[in-house]
Structure 1
Amino acid sequence: MTKELHPLSMRRTMVKSTVGHVQHTTYDLPDAKNPNHVYGYELPRDPENAGQVIGKWVHATPSPATTTGRSFIETNRQAIIHGCVSAGENRKYANEHPGIVVKPAAKCKGGFVPTNDTTYGIKSKESEDIWGLVQARYTSFSNDDAYYPDLGSMKTRGPIRVLLFKLKSDANNMTRLLSPLLLLGLLPAASCASSSVLIRGVAPSDQATYLSSEFSCVVGGRATNLPISRVNDEFCDCDDGQDEPGTAACSYLINAEFHCENDGVFPGKIHTSRIHDGICDCCDGSDEAIDGKSPCPNTCGAAADKFRKEAEQRLEVVKTGFEKRQATINGEIAEYFNGAQKAEATTLKELVGLKLLKDRVTVHKDREELKEKKYRMDIARQKQAEGHEGEETSKQQFSDAAEQEAVKALDFEGLDAVRVADDDVPVNSAEDERASEVLDSRRGTVKSLVELPDGTRIPLADYLRMNHNKQAPNKKLRAPRTAEEMRREDFLGPLFNGGAEGRKRIGLYALRTIGIVISPVRALVELILFSPRTLWSVLPTSEIASSAIDKLPDFPYPSRSIWFRQLGGGSVYDGYSSVMWGARVVWDAPVYAYHFLFPKLDDELKLPVAESLRKVLREIDADIAKLEKEQNEKREAAKVDYGPDRAYFALKDKCIEKRIEKYEYKFCAFGEVKQDHTKLGKWDGWAVGDTNDSSSGEGTDKVVHTKMRYSKGQRCYKGPERSVLVHLECGKHDEILSVDEPSTCVYQMIVRSPLACTSQVLAKAEQDVAFWT
């Protein structure tokens, strides 16, 4: 059934819609049918027997009042008024002003006599029937501008004040605040502007949203028009907090912001949670203002002075860096790049001259190396002949020295293939003269001297000017052969006209020819014996068998016995020795032919002229390689992006080092970045930023010449490769300012350099000084 309510019970409430509905329980309480069931513990009225204590009070003299203590509330309020907004400044102010204490209670006027109905505190009021609110079927709502009850003192107060602040009367502020709106044509006239109000916490450029009697926002996901009186009413209506820019009602929203005008010097925004929090966030104190009055001092002027001084100091640094940058661009960089074409022509001319010089030195070197090769061949043949002679003498193959000399002559006469070449390779004296002129124009190009056969050391230019085609005076010319010598030496002359020596030579040639013809027989024998010999040398039992064989008695050779040497008056032994010598010549003919055709040359045998020319040629090659490297570097440097005016070229091949905490950092522009011995990354180009092309409407990549990317560094343990992003800032000197690691193995480095002080940075610094001035 519905209970009829008293009209006074139907009071107006603060809620905007239905208060709520209460539903009765649909289940019974435990043991509801037992009337004696106790659902909790009995609460005694006076567990401490306070009534008995009070009843035993007797008349006595009251104790003296305690000393008045510090008033923390008043101390904090005074600290904020004097600009001490931070916790540290607040404590410092409290220590400096210990006299701020709690005010003593006001004494009653003399002659005042209290009556029986005098109220010494807040008078109690009978509570209203709660059923009037819980079970109300109907209620009326107050208008938004109606008076509301103060539930604390149960007095009727005025309407909820709208936190608006009146427009300042100052003409300058009036123009500054209203100029954006006048330009947009959103204010009707200047006369009306003076009487209009601005919404607290809203920037002047956004005031047009609140000019009409209603404004639109999203409430509960739906676009809704709200009356302007709902703005800054301490109740968050809009989902985005648009209706509470000047209060903290929507502080739970991330994008709820309060606009600090800051006297128009440097306006900014703060979160609405910082409004009326007892801390002055805006320099003009507007975030703590109540009814247009703020307990915070206006520190915008002091802040502006501070920023002005910082801007002037910054401008001084930028000017110094800009001057250094311009000096570097006009000096070192201009000399390197602007004279590139002239340097290219000079380098090309020097390369042509050095290559001509190299060609002429190569000709002379080849000529001397041919002599050196012939010299080595002669020495090798001589050693070969001496070794053959010693071997034959030890085996008693020749009876006298004459026969040995004959064998030597038979072995080498007319068979030296190198002698078919002329000793003197003709050279071009005109080309040598041009090469010597190149040396005269490039003093110090070749420091090595040329050593002549007699030990004299002369410069290369003097060596090239020598007449190398002239026959050496000390060279012996071979006399023409006589008819007798030709009959004795040519074809079968040694057989018929050479006597015993000639027949010996022809016999030796014949035996070696037979040995070469039947050389496949020796190859077959060697092939058959190869496996046994290899196994004999590899098997471990070979050493034991060799030692056992050595202990066996020698096999009796007939040639070693005295009776065999004396047999037939020695003729049998001589015939046996000749046959064995001939067999050995035939058997060793392939080996002899191989050593003769491919003699072992001693590379350590060097002629002084050839060796000195090789050293000279190495120096020339080094000079040519150096010039070609410089030429290639200049060509590559012309293709590399070194920033505006190629200013950062001055950092190329230079490194900046600094120790930060426990690490030594090393920054090499266009090279690599290191942390001690760990490579953080190598040059990977300039950073690229996204920009929008207004003409095409598409995003384009723009190179940012103040950020260097370094990648492919040493891999982290179970992580990615290290990388660094270097930020270049303007400064007086080259230095590493700081290094951070915002994420794992990804570093951020700030480097200051005068080369970053561009004209745009200078213009920005001048604008900052002009703004604050």
Structure 2
Amino acid sequence: CAFLSDRMRFHVIAAALLWAAFVESRKIRGISSSYKRFYRERKSFLCIDGSKMIPFEQVNDDYCDCADGSDEPGTSACPRGRFYCTNLGFRPHYIPSSRVNDGICFASVMLVLFVPSLAFCSRNLGQKERAYVEGQMKTLDEGLRLKQQLIEEGVLLWREKQAQLRELQRAAEDLQIKLEEHRRRKHEADRLKEQTLKALKAGDKGKSPSIFRTHSETFARFPELFRTRVLCASLSQSLKISAYIYKYIYIYGGALFGNTQCAESQQLRIVNLSDLLFCLAAEWEATDLKKVEEAYETVNMEISDLQRKLGIDYGTDWEYLFLNGQCYKLKVYEYMYTLCPFNMVSQKSSAGVEVSLGKWGMWAGPPKNHYSQMVYENGEPCWQGGSRTTTVTLTCGTETALRLVKEPSKCQYTMDFETPVACQPVLKQRGVHSEL
């Protein structure tokens, strides 16, 4: 009875397999779901390239009718044909149709052979697939852990940058007030110079002292200038002037600013009053005013640079912010490639010639994974026209590094850039199937 039972079981299994083969034969093998619309059963079949119309029953009849091989996706009849492995539970992908039913089980490829070979493929590839998926999951878990750290650091860094911007803006406001005050004082010194020159030209000796007395506060702002630089004849060519002018500047100036500390010989030669006032205005412009202007310009440049950096899209959680200000290098043959995220890409030859391969442009990933690709554009001009551009694909990894550089077409470069922040939790949905 046991023997009969085994025989009956064998016939049941055989019948089931034959039925499955029959059902499968009614389907078009070797096509992906996106191509099913081309293979809806009807009286005729149009080759996908549009070159020929054939009866539908000639699809997968092991004879190649279409030049593009689209009528034989499930056989090896067409040299240009492709077979789509659904690879249920594994990774689906295409293989050349010539490898269908050739008796060889390809790595990570199943359902290529008929049923008797399937069990052998399943055992071998199941072990390999399990090891592969487990390795990928381990990398993903570690990458996600590191990504979370970088997100937390990114949030803190973002707040620091915002605080730095506010501090710079306050400094710019203070410098602007100081700048306006210094410009007012310079204007006052220039006006004083013009008044004095007019008085001297008119020969009004009585008016000159009144100018000094009226603007004694203005002169009092520059005691060091009067005491050592001008009266000691170190800024301008010394000229003999009238005893009246000399006596007034030296004595009255000394009363305002204290002793001039000039040597006896220097006291006999002193700059004339117009030179004195000219040097006063020039010295003021060249020192304090210039310093304030430079400081104000520097702070505003820092504000603009920081605002530009903060205006970049660094991801939903600012996870890519840490990349700004960093550069990553990879040597490929005689060239050194440099990627500075959110800034630029360059290529440097062993001879030291550096070429721009593009400046930061935009994120260019698909809608479901927007932050998976960067585009750097407007690099140095290409000899055949246009400019060099670089597309950077970001991949999940436990390190942040530039892994691969290619030039698939002239002046069009591609890079693979590995970083933990490219790891996506959605990848974990695949999992490792228990039947492996």
TM-score band, normalised by the shorter chain? 0.5 to 0.7
1:292 paired with 2:116, answer: yes
1:737 deviates by 1.3
Question: Which residue, 452, 461, 475 being the options, matches 2:252?
Answer: 475
Equivalent residue, structure 1, for 2:97: 272
Cα distance change of structure 1 residues 636 and 288 upon mapping to structure 2, 3 Å threshold:
closer
- 1-side partners of 2:153 and 2:293: how far apart? 34
Quick one: percent identity of the two aligned structures?
A: 21
Question: Which residue, 203, 224, 239 being the options, matches 1:451?
Answer: 224
1:423 paired with 2:212, answer: yes
Residue pairs, 1:284-363, within 5 angstroms: 286-289=111-114, 292-293=116-117, 297=121, 298-337=123-162, 339=163, 344=166, 347-363=168-184
- 2-side partners of 1:231 and 1:711: how far apart? 46
1:762 paired with 2:434, answer: no
SS at match of 2:78: coil
Question: Which residue, 379, 393, 414 being the options, matches 2:203?
Answer: 414
- 2-side partners of 1:241 and 1:617: how far apart? 79
Code of the residue aligned with 1:221 in structure 2: it is M
1:618 deviates by 2.0
Unpaired stretches in structure 1, ≥5 consecutive residues: 1-164, 170-192, 210-214, 382-411, 437-448, 457-470, 478-598, 692-701
- 2-side partners of 1:768 and 1:716: how far apart? 43
Cα distance change of structure 1 residues 744 and 305 upon mapping to structure 2, 3 Å threshold:
same
Unpaired stretches in structure 2, ≥5 consecutive residues: 1-13, 46-51, 230-247, 255-271, 349-353
SS at match of 2:177: helix
1:261 deviates by 4.8
Residue pairs, 1:131-142, within 5 angstroms: none
Equivalent residue, structure 2, for 1:202: 29
- 2-side partners of 1:724 and 1:195: how far apart? 49
Equivalent residue, structure 2, for 1:188: none
1:709 paired with 2:375, answer: yes
1:687 deviates by 2.7
Code of the residue aligned with 2:182 in structure 1: it is V
Cα distance change of structure 1 residues 196 and 222 upon mapping to structure 2, 3 Å threshold:
closer
SS at match of 1:281: coil
- 2-side partners of 1:311 and 1:636: how far apart? 37
1:610 deviates by 6.5
- 2-side partners of 1:266 and 1:688: how far apart? 22
Q: What CA deviation, in whole Å up to 9, does each residue of 1:305-331 have, x standing for no partner?
A: 222232133214422431332132221
Code of the residue aligned with 2:382 in structure 1: it is C
- 2-side partners of 1:732 and 1:672: how far apart? 24
Aligned length, in residue pairs: 366
1:726 deviates by 1.9
Equivalent residue, structure 2, for 1:221: 53
Residue pairs, 1:567-606, within 5 angstroms: 606=279
1:752 paired with 2:429, answer: no
- 2-side partners of 1:722 and 1:452: how far apart? 57
SS at match of 2:381: coil
Residue pairs, 1:29-68, within 5 angstroms: none
Q: What CA deviation, in whole Å up to 9, does each residue of 1:523-578 have, x standing for no partner?
A: xxxxxxxxxxxxxxxxxxxxxxxxxxxxxxxxxxxxxxxxxxxxxxxxxxxxxxxx
CA contact (8 A) 1:376 1:602 kept: no
Cα distance change of structure 1 residues 642 and 427 upon mapping to structure 2, 3 Å threshold:
farther
1:422 deviates by 1.7
Question: Which residue, 682, 688, 692 being the options, matches 2:359?
Answer: 682
- 1-side partners of 2:365 and 2:87: how far apart? 36
Cα distance change of structure 1 residues 656 and 416 upon mapping to structure 2, 3 Å threshold:
farther
Cα distance change of structure 1 residues 610 and 204 upon mapping to structure 2, 3 Å threshold:
closer
Structure whose CA Rg is larger: 1
1:623 deviates by 2.5
Cα distance change of structure 1 residues 284 and 741 upon mapping to structure 2, 3 Å threshold:
closer
Cα distance change of structure 1 residues 281 and 427 upon mapping to structure 2, 3 Å threshold:
farther
1:681 deviates by 1.9
- 1-side partners of 2:128 and 2:32: how far apart? 24
SS at match of 2:371: strand
Cα distance change of structure 1 residues 765 and 237 upon mapping to structure 2, 3 Å threshold:
closer
- 2-side partners of 1:450 and 1:351: how far apart? 29
CA contact (8 A) 1:681 1:714 kept: yes
1:765 deviates by 3.7
Code of the residue aligned with 1:750 in structure 2: it is D
Q: What CA deviation, in whole Å up to 9, does each residue of 1:612-643 have, x standing for no partner?
A: 67412222222322333344344444544344
Cα distance change of structure 1 residues 417 and 351 upon mapping to structure 2, 3 Å threshold:
farther
Residue pairs, 1:350-499, within 5 angstroms: 350-366=171-187, 414=203, 419=208, 422-424=211-213, 426=215, 451-455=224-228, 474-475=251-252
- 1-side partners of 2:53 and 2:224: how far apart? 100
- 2-side partners of 1:366 and 1:246: how far apart? 90
- 2-side partners of 1:649 and 1:284: how far apart? 40
Cα distance change of structure 1 residues 711 and 294 upon mapping to structure 2, 3 Å threshold:
closer
1:727 deviates by 1.9
CA contact (8 A) 2:105 2:113 kept: yes
- 2-side partners of 1:644 and 1:767: how far apart? 21
Equivalent residue, structure 1, for 2:299: 627
CA contact (8 A) 2:402 2:417 kept: yes
1:267 deviates by 5.1
Cα distance change of structure 1 residues 352 and 752 upon mapping to structure 2, 3 Å threshold:
same
CA contact (8 A) 1:723 1:745 kept: yes
Cα distance change of structure 1 residues 331 and 732 upon mapping to structure 2, 3 Å threshold:
farther
1:274 deviates by 0.9
> Normalised by the size of structure 1, how large is the TM-score?
0.39
> Normalised by the size of structure 2, how large is the TM-score?
0.63
CA contact (8 A) 1:286 1:294 kept: yes
Equivalent residue, structure 2, for 1:641: 313
Question: Which residue, 721, 734, 747 being the options, matches 2:387?
Answer: 721
Cα distance change of structure 1 residues 424 and 333 upon mapping to structure 2, 3 Å threshold:
farther
Residue pairs, 1:66-81, within 5 angstroms: none
Code of the residue aligned with 1:742 in structure 2: it is P
As a proportion of its length, which structure holds more helix? 2
Code of the residue aligned with 2:313 in structure 1: it is D
CA contact (8 A) 1:217 1:238 kept: no
Aligned alpha-carbon RMSD (Å): 5.1
- 2-side partners of 1:735 and 1:450: how far apart? 61
Equivalent residue, structure 1, for 2:405: 739
SS at match of 2:390: strand
Equivalent residue, structure 2, for 1:556: none
Equivalent residue, structure 2, for 1:665: 337
CA contact (8 A) 1:451 1:612 kept: no
